[in-house]
Structure 1
Amino acid sequence: MSTPRAPKVAGIDSTVPPPPHTAAPPAAPPLPSGDLRSGGALQDRLAGWVSDLSLLHELTESLIRTGSLDDALHEVLRAGAALVGARRGMAVFEPSDGLGPVSTVGLGLAHSDLGTIETVPRSVTSYGRILDGLDPLPEGSLPRPVAIPDLRSEEDLDPRHREVAARLGYAASYALPLATRQAGRLGALVWLYDEPAEPAERQRHLVGLYGRFATEHLARLLDVERARTQLSTVAEELLPRRLPRVPGVQLAARHRTGARGGGDWYDALPLPEGSLGLAVGSVSGSGPSALAAMGRLRASLRAYAVMEGEDPVAVLSDLELLLRLTEPARSATALFAYAEPQARRIVLAGAGHTPPLIIGDQRTEYVETSLSAPLGMLACWEAPSVELSPAPGETVLLYTEGLLRRTGDPMDRAFARLHAAAAGVPKAARADPGAVADHVLRTILPEGSAAATSDGEDVVILAARFD
């Protein structure tokens, strides 16, 4: 057999000696025996790396699409189970700063199964050892995974743990901490095997990489969740703690805050001689600045309502002037109604706001209001008021545009959906304005639907049923 020659590269014969001013390249190390056959093994190994990277890319892409902590925890459990070869598991989310939220979700485990596992003393569980830092580690080190390959052969296993494992039918577990130096310790994941088993070294490596990415994603969602909770709390504090009791009318309100904390609001305040002021509105923008503007606008409207509530046009005109002078870059919509419950008489005016809806046994119809621009968009705002007389037992429904926008439909179809939902209120529920508002919400925004879980818009409903 002739001696193999080095291949030519780009038309250059590699056997030509280098010029004298160029250092000679180092001699190539001799190929070990059998390396002529190692090309296939190397290709297999490279193919395995590519496959692993593709799998991690696919799993992380799925995780990125989750928008809530609960959805992300379920996705992490599912993806991790695929990586370690398990079919059941649980995630315990418990940030180490103690500020919450705290959550436990399962994969292939019923709620009662999770409760059964939680009867095991926490200190002897793998997730408890991770979350409570019970395993000795060098100072500053992150928690390590905890593998129990065979629960049946563990001599020191807690009797209650052994009993629960036998009842639920798992024989091994692998726990992974949700922790990084940047995010801190957020929780732990535990996957359960039906038979004695543990992840191979390659599986541990992959799930470890995925776990670090998942922890950072969960940390971002945690920040969003906490900010959302704070904004919701602030919004609720800026709205009425309780609705007034005025003879001749029953009141109910429902409020859902979007993730960014919009400026939708409502109000009901008793006025002299047994009258009542009802208001709903929305401030442009979102976040803390919109909430602050909403609080100022609502407080101002209350003052104007006390001074000249019998004239809703005057109330909104004063509000327009105040907004234009103090916050020229902001706009708002508002509707104010002056009600005399004993006479069942309402006078209302709206500034760029959606029309009220009257719901009764004989009719379900929108109140005809004149078109008007929102507050802050004209040099001088004024629109005529509208007077109506609800029949005994009828409910006047005031609401903000967020209820319509959350449907995702064009506005004409959204108005039609709202009308159909109001017309479909059961007769037995029409005596309670709270039940009317709840029925409309459930119909327009069904639980679990994209409209119900959408966080882009605030939703406000104020229902007034006249006796």
Structure 2
Amino acid sequence: MSTPDVRKVAGIDPSVPAPAHTSSPSPSSAAPLSGGGAPSATPDSQDVRPVDHLAAVQDRLAGWISDLTTLHDLTERLARTDSLDDALQELLRAGAGLVGAQRGMIVLEPTDGRGPDTTVGLGLGPADLGTIETIPRGAAAYGRILDGLPEGDLPDDGGGSPERTEVAHPDLRNEPDLDPRHREVAARLGYAASYAVPLATESGGRLGAAVWLYDEPTEPVDRQRHLVGLYTRYATEHLARLMELARARATAATLREELLPSRLPRVAGVRLAVRHRTGPQGGGDWYDALPLPEGALGLAVGSVTGSGPSAVAAMGRLRASLRAYAVMEGEDPVAVLSDLELLLRLTEPARSATALFAYCEPAGSCDDGDQEPGHDQGQRLGRSFVLAGAGHCPPLVVGEHRTEFVETTLSAPLGMLSCWEAPSVEFSVAPRETLLLYSDGLLHRTGEPIDRAFARLHGAAAGVPKSVRDDPDAVVEHVLRTMLPDGSDAADSPEDVVLLAARFD
């Protein structure tokens, strides 16, 4: 019977070493010759030896199938991660299982210098990671990988060219050339061996390094090294895709934040607070609060249709233009929005937007008829507002004796009519009352019909505890948490959320 040729079996890589639990079959010894020169075979030698060899091959195939199944399950779990942090943690857990380690860490440091640079640990707290980082970079396994191993340090792949760049320290306590600080940190944290591999892609270069730590002196066998190499080869491609996504989101978030006020202004007699939540693609909701001549104040919120970089750019242009128009003719909100309508039709003909602009007159300008009874002249002066809105939700006044929406005129959004102009409305806000301006994303994220969402907002504002009503920051926080409980304000919703509060003393 001829010996089966393993190399001809489909899907099997003959370079893969045998599974650890499989022993290599014993080589067949030649049978002694009889006097006639023919092999003297017995039934046992003819039947048992081929059967034993076939069983060994089947055992080896079973080991390969088991390994492939394990890799399939691990890569599927990794593919289900949709954030960089989750993917790093999954890679650490899977790699630890493949090489038989108890703890580990990943140092992410892309060679292109664009970040993100981060360190995450498995079974290691922030203090432990900080302690490991005190090891001189050139002596740490991850540092040697990130800085590029010298050619003499690279193990030979058998063909004369160095390809495998893992760094193994099988016995840190007794390694003679180990840096003293490395030995000291290992003793303090209680690990006795380490195994590090690079995280690199063919197109993007080196992304970082993964290090797994053992409690006892040991090192992974060849088969474990092969399996973790196959897994990290796939994992780094997945990490590279998530990294590009994280970079794009960070860039969009930075751009969006730069286009919005870096801080709210300080205006005498007024305290301001805001909450701004954006969807994963970045939307066009915006807000503004700007001091105007003679002690006046302008408050604005708006929303541009669409999402992504184009909507963010359009939002920035619209907000910047409104600021310019408000400085020139802020006391006439209708004129401000009319100018904004003309600009939108000329520069963004395929886009529409909603906007609301409220002009708050200087302190002490409220008429006597608007004053709240029961207060002396020095304490009862409120603030008068002139407001114009283009398709935007009405503001909400929250006070000790009332919680009500401001009655505004009906108007289409900007960009939907050949000429926009709607009458303005006037109202007043008494001392110790808060004016809430918001975007419609706050209503849409509730998932309820619009009338119920309005009722829910009214109830949330009316339910602000009296103990925190003097703090506009606490007011917006309470309203946001009541409207969107269980972290819904940070959910991956396409809707942006803006909530701006102005508390008048």
The one of 388, 391, 397 aligned to 2:436: 397
Cα contact 1:91–1:190 (8 A) shared by 2: yes
Distance 1:63 1:218 in 2: 10
User: 1: distance between equivalents of 2:355 and 2:405?
Assistant: 17
Alpha carbons of 1:291 and 1:36: their partners in 2 closer, same or farther (altered >3 Å)? Answer: same
Aligned to 2:361: 340
Q: Is the 8 A contact 1:282 1:400 kept in 2?
A: yes
Matched, 1:63 2:78: yes
Query: Counterpart of 1:7?
Result: none
8 Å contact kept, 2:149–2:165: no
Match of 2:192 in 1: 171
Q: Which residue of the partner structure matches residue 120 of structure 2?
A: 105
Please give the secondary structure, in 2, of the residue aligned with 1:123: coil
TM-score (norm 2): 0.77
Matched letter for residue 351 of structure 1: A
Aligned length, in residue pairs: 436
Partner SS state of residue 394, structure 2: coil
**Alignment equivalent of 1:157, drawn from 178, 181, 184:** 178
The one-character-per-residue Cα deviations of 1:112-140 (angstroms, maximum 9, x if unpaired) are 11122222222211111111124436899
Residues 354 and 413, structure 2, Cα contact 8 Å, conserved in 1: yes
Shift of the 223–391 alpha-carbon distance from structure 1 to 2, 3 Å rule, reads: same
Question: How far off its partner does 1:267 sit?
Answer: 1.5
Shift of residue 371 of structure 1? Answer: 4.9
Whole-angstrom CA distance in 1 between matches of 2:281 and 2:347 = 23
2:170 paired with 1:132: no
* Closer/same/farther in 2, CA of residues 362 and 94 from structure 1, 3 Å limit: farther
Task: Return the letter of the residue paired with 2:71.
Answer: L
Instruction: State the 1:216 CA deviation.
Output: 1.4
Partner of residue 18, structure 1: none
Per-residue deviation, residues 298-321 of structure 1 (Å, max 9, x unmatched) = 223233334443343443343233
Instruction: Measure how far apart 1:428 and its partner are.
Output: 4.4
The CA deviation at 1:464 is 1.0
- Measure the CA separation in 2 of the matches of 1:187 and 1:104: 10
Q: For 1:143-198, what per-residue CA distance to the aligned partner results, in whole angstroms no more than 9, with x for missing partners?
A: 71112222222122222222222222212111121112212111111111122222
What is the rounded CA distance, in whole Å, between the counterparts of 1:193 and 1:453 in structure 2?
Answer: 38
SS in 1 for 2:237: helix
TM superposition shift of 1:367: 3.5
* Cα separation, partners in 2 of 1:330 and 1:39, compared to 1, 3 Å: farther
Q: CA deviation at 1:109?
A: 1.3
User: What pairs up with 1:207-286 in 2 under 5 angstroms?
Assistant: 207-286=228-307
What is the Cα deviation at residue 257 of structure 1?
Answer: 4.2
AA matched with 1:131 = L
What is the alpha-carbon distance in structure 2 between the residues aligned to residue 148 and residue 450 of structure 1? 47
- Structure 1, gaps ≥5 residues long: 1-30
Alpha-carbon shift at residue 87 of structure 1 (Å): 2.4
Percent identity over the alignment is 73
C-alpha separation between the residues in 2 aligned to 1:365 and 1:189?
Answer: 58
Q: Residue in 1 aligned with 2:35?
A: none
- The one-letter code sitting in structure 2 at the alignment partner of 1:434 is D
Give the aligned partner of residue 73 of structure 1.
88
Distance 1:33 1:195, change over 3 A: same
Q: In structure 2, what is the Cα distance between the partners aligned to 1:408 and 1:68? A: 25
Q: Aligned-pair distance for 1:414?
A: 5.0
Measured in 1, the distance between the counterparts of 2:340 and 2:231 equals: 54
- The letter of the residue matching 2:273 is A
| CA distance in 2: counterparts of 1:95 and 1:455, whole angstroms | 30
- Between stretches 368-377 and 264-273, larger displacement belongs to 368-377
Aligned to 2:470: 431
Describe the superposition over 1:366-416 as per-residue Cα deviations: whole angstroms up to 9, x where unpaired.
Answer: 444455433223444444544332221122122223344455566556555
Tell me, in whole angstroms, the C-alpha distance in 2 between the residues paired with 1:218 and 1:173.
23
Q: Distance in 2 between matches of 1:383 and 1:142?
A: 72
How much does 1:274 deviate? Answer: 2.8
Aligned match of 1:462: 500
Inter-partner Cα distance in structure 2 for 1:407 and 1:64: 30
Q: Distance in 2 between matches of 1:50 and 1:365?
A: 68
**1:413-459 superposed Cα distances (whole Å, 9 cap, x missing partner):** 65555455544545444333234334444555679x46425374433
- Do the aligned partners of residues 73 and 310 (structure 1) sit closer, same or farther apart at CA in structure 2, a change above 3 Å counting? same
1:312, 1:131 → 2: CA distance? 58
Cα distance, 1:455–1:101 mapped onto 2, change above 3 Å: farther
Give the Cα separation in 2 of the matches to 1:175 and 1:429: 53
- Partner amino acid, structure 2, of 1:45: R
Q: Residue 27 of structure 1 corresponds to which residue in structure 2?
A: none
SS at match of 1:281: strand
Label 1:251 to 1:451 Cα distance change in 2 as closer, same or farther (>3 A).
closer
**Structure 2 matches for 1:371-450, cutoff 5 A?**
371-406=410-445, 411=450, 415=454, 418-419=457-458, 421-441=460-480, 449=487
8 Å contact from structure 1 (residues 89, 109) kept in 2: yes
Q: 1:75 to 1:413 in 2, by over 3 A?
A: farther
Contact 2:277 2:490 in 1 (8 A): no
Query: 2: CA distance between counterparts of 1:278 and 1:141?
Result: 65
Name the aligned partner's letter for residue 332 of structure 1.
A
Distance in 1, matches of 2:249 and 2:161, equals 31
Normalising to structure 1: TM-score of the pair?
0.83
- The residue number in structure 1 matching 2:318 is 297
1:466 corresponds to which letter in structure 2? F
Q: In structure 2, what is the equivalent of residue 360 of structure 1?
A: 399
In the alignment, is the contact (CA less than 8 A) between 1:402 and 1:459 conserved in 2? Answer: yes
RMSD of aligned C-alpha atoms? 3.1
Matched residue type, 2:432? G
